Chain A
């Protein structure tokens, strides 16, 4: 091949090929593409509605009830009519956009989201990134301006989401980059939380800021302690051992009554201070120091910025590490462990660094959790937490930093949002959607995995480039390869 021929990038080749294939098929007189008119579509929808009407007549419209002297028939025309209308409109929309159109919207959706990466000018994506970052940076003030009535709950929810973003980023180092399936990540979260709680309740002089690095170090130490014996295991076996480790930590916390308080937990964990000043009412509070009138919301805003900075730190460190040899070794390890060893990489040390750095960020997040709640107990560190954090990483797209953010907002925000959908119950009597919150949520997760099997953000930006940065769609490599 002559070196000056331009090689079309792989992402361009595929759709073009598919296009050509489609054209070839229509030329060869394959199944003829039928053109649908609006009339056909309407008739089809009316047909479906009629069918619903007939089928549903005895089930929906009529209802027999035991009445004195026999059965009594009540009619429920509204319900029957609603069902017919839903089928009619649904069928019509499906016909218009999916079934009876030459360009189904599902295909367009797939094209715009998965597979081929939309070619967007660099400045547009940069502008979007800056805008999103600015929103995140001023979120508490935006919330106060837009939803003054709910500011406390909303800022609290943002703090919660950011905590999970940070945990997701921490776990992303272990699972996403190094490819080590860790089902017990919550153990390090717990170690961080209890380290801070115990240190601060036993020693007067230790506050949030002094305990934070100590909690991170202790969590990293436990990461090493767990890592040494188990990291020779791989895949499923590693997952089981980490799962067990997470449970061991929780059970120890539950039963070591003298130290951890057992199921009663530890209360009175100090709040974070602002350069030594607490957010309290009065002359010596941080609000007074800043020249503001005291309000309870100040403490929430302060907490928001603490977790915002901690999460940014996690992201920054991860992004830098990815460009260093150790970070690239993590990614190589995920792809092929044997090849790594053949290149002279000490795989044990590489895994241990991933494990302990991931654990360290879990520890940071844990001590933040303790200071935010003011009270911790083993109940907060169950396997469900590990599962949620892992789900965030997997749904976001393994190894993708922005994916973790999207998934955290969707998952944590979604669970909270579903608490507020009681109004839907008015549509269908006897159905309370709030009761089915977790079911709906699970279905949504399944839907995401069907729609985007490799997570919401599947592109991987190479950490080394020659001239221009080019993202590569994940579908170019078959799923599960390199594990």
Chain B
């Protein structure tokens, strides 16, 4: 296979003296949806943030598109074509939906803006209705759509999604995952998805990793992992809906 778009090798991350990641290896190939599942505190979000350079990895290497981004500051990493929809959505609550989307397009040449906005509104018609409303007045699902839409406005090659299903109704989760699948299929967008909602994430993903206590313990295709009894026992029993 071609060179992976993102390759994380032997990454260890510490919060002070506390180790959060103990030698993680993850690869994301162009055009793939890769998901990382795991329990609370396993280090999923830490890995996501380490990729973004905050905190930086103490050892190991992160390559993106052939560039070593391990020691780069966050804003420079994000300028290479990586976009992130952070955990907890983190939209700008007092700015309007449109302004939020403009913030996402900060680094993109202005001539793309109108066509990109139109495409986003097609993907998320709800955002068009709410364009002049404050971000903070949106419902949770709409805020999540806005967070993803804002990330997409940056025309990324790699989209990092940190728990997009957090606190959302199953129906909305389904809608959002549908949009991700659609983006991947029609535009070849590469997606790296961190999720607690293992069932949906595994169904969506081409490949998946399972993280326990800062280590990758299993990997395989989404369908494979869905069948594995230990995965079912740990993450799916009672959680499938």
Instruction: Give the interface of A toward B (CB within 8 A).
Output: 1, 3, 7, 9-10, 325, 328-329, 331-332, 335-336, 338-347, 460, 462-466, 470, 472, 474, 476-478, 481-482
Q: Mark B51-74, 1 if CB is under 8 A from A, else 0.
A: 010100000000000000000011
**Chain B: minimal CB distance from A57 (Å):** 56
A332 to B135, CA, bound (A): 12
Within 8 Å CB of B94, what residues of A? 331, 335, 460, 474, 477, 481-482
Check if B106 sits within 8 Å of A344, measured CB to CB: yes
Q: Give B128's nearest chain A residue, CB to CB.
A: A3
Check if B98 sits within 8 Å of A462, measured CB to CB: yes
**Chain B: minimal CB distance from A458 (Å):** 11
Q: Give B117's nearest chain A residue, CB to CB.
A: A466
Within 8 Å CB of B107, what residues of A? 343-344
Q: Mark B79-117, 1 if CB is under 8 A from A, else 0.
A: 100011010001111111011001110110000000000
Within 8 Å CB of B86, what residues of A? 338-339, 342
Q: A325-B106, A332-B95 are in contact. Are A7 and B130 (CB under 8 A)?
A: yes
Check if A339 sits within 8 Å of B91, measured CB to CB: yes
Q: Give B73's nearest chain A residue, CB to CB.
A: A346
Q: A3-B125, A3-B129, A462-B98 are in contact. Are A332 and B103 (CB under 8 A)?
A: yes
Q: Give A460's nearest chain B residue, CB to CB.
A: B94
Q: Give B100's nearest chain A residue, CB to CB.
A: A332
Check if B129 sits within 8 Å of A328, measured CB to CB: no
A208 to B240, CA, bound (A): 74
Interface check B217, CB cutoff 8 A: no
Check if B134 sits within 8 Å of A346, measured CB to CB: no
Check if B132 sits within 8 Å of A336, measured CB to CB: no
Check if A335 sits within 8 Å of B92, measured CB to CB: yes
Q: Give B104's nearest chain A residue, CB to CB.
A: A343
Q: Which of these, A341, A470, A478, contacts B75 with CB under 8 Å?
A: A341
Within 8 Å CB of B99, what residues of A? 328, 331, 462-464
Check if B150 sits within 8 Å of A343, measured CB to CB: yes
Check if A344 sits within 8 Å of B75, measured CB to CB: yes
Q: Mark B147-165, 1 if CB is under 8 A from A, else 0.
A: 0001100100000000000
Check if A476 sits within 8 Å of B95, measured CB to CB: no
Check if A342 sits within 8 Å of B52, measured CB to CB: yes
Q: Which of these, A465, A466, A472, contacts B134 with CB under 8 Å?
A: A472
A57 to B52, CA, bound (A): 76
Check if A335 sits within 8 Å of B78, measured CB to CB: no
A140 to B129, CA, bound (A): 49
Q: Give A326's nearest chain B residue, CB to CB.
A: B106
**Chain B: minimal CB distance from A348 (Å):** 9
Closest 10 A/B residue pairs (Cβ): A344-B78, A477-B136, A335-B92, A339-B90, A341-B74, A342-B84, A346-B75, A462-B96, A344-B79, A344-B107
Check if B92 sits within 8 Å of A336, measured CB to CB: yes
Interface check B118, CB cutoff 8 A: no
Within 8 Å CB of A462, what residues of B? 95-96, 98-99, 132
A341 to B90, CA, bound (A): 11
Within 8 Å CB of B174, what residues of A? none
Check if A335 sits within 8 Å of B104, measured CB to CB: no
Q: A331-B95, A342-B84 are in contact. Are A465 and B132 (CB under 8 A)?
A: yes
Check if A464 sits within 8 Å of B106, measured CB to CB: no
Within 8 Å CB of A464, what residues of B? 96, 98-99, 102
**Chain B: minimal CB distance from A239 (Å):** 21
Q: A331-B92, A462-B95, A464-B102 are in contact. Are A481 and B79 (CB under 8 A)?
A: no
**Chain B: minimal CB distance from A111 (Å):** 19
A sample of 9 inter-chain contacts (CB < 8 A) reads: A3-B129, A10-B133, A10-B137, A331-B92, A331-B94, A336-B92, A338-B86, A464-B99, A477-B134
Q: Which of these, B52, B102, B137, contacts A477 with CB under 8 Å?
A: B137
Q: Besides A466-B131, A481-B136, 17 other CB < 8 A contacts? A: A9-B133, A10-B137, A328-B103, A329-B103, A335-B94, A339-B91, A341-B54, A343-B83, A344-B76, A344-B79, A344-B107, A462-B98, A462-B99, A463-B99, A465-B132, A472-B133, A482-B136
Interface check B119, CB cutoff 8 A: no
Within 8 Å CB of B185, what residues of A? none
Q: Give A7's nearest chain B residue, CB to CB.
A: B129
**Chain B: minimal CB distance from A341 (Å):** 5
A472 to B98, CA, bound (A): 14
Q: A341-B54, A465-B132, A472-B134 are in contact. Are A482 and B126 (CB under 8 A)?
A: no
A476 to B130, CA, bound (A): 14
Within 8 Å CB of B90, what residues of A? 336, 338-339, 342
Q: Which of these, B79, B84, B92, B132, contacts A470 with CB under 8 Å?
A: B132
A346 to B76, CA, bound (A): 8
**Chain B: minimal CB distance from A455 (Å):** 13
Check if B75 sits within 8 Å of A347, measured CB to CB: yes
Q: Give A466's nearest chain B residue, CB to CB.
A: B131
> By CB atoms of chain B within 10 A, which of A329, A346, A470, A478 has the most?
A346
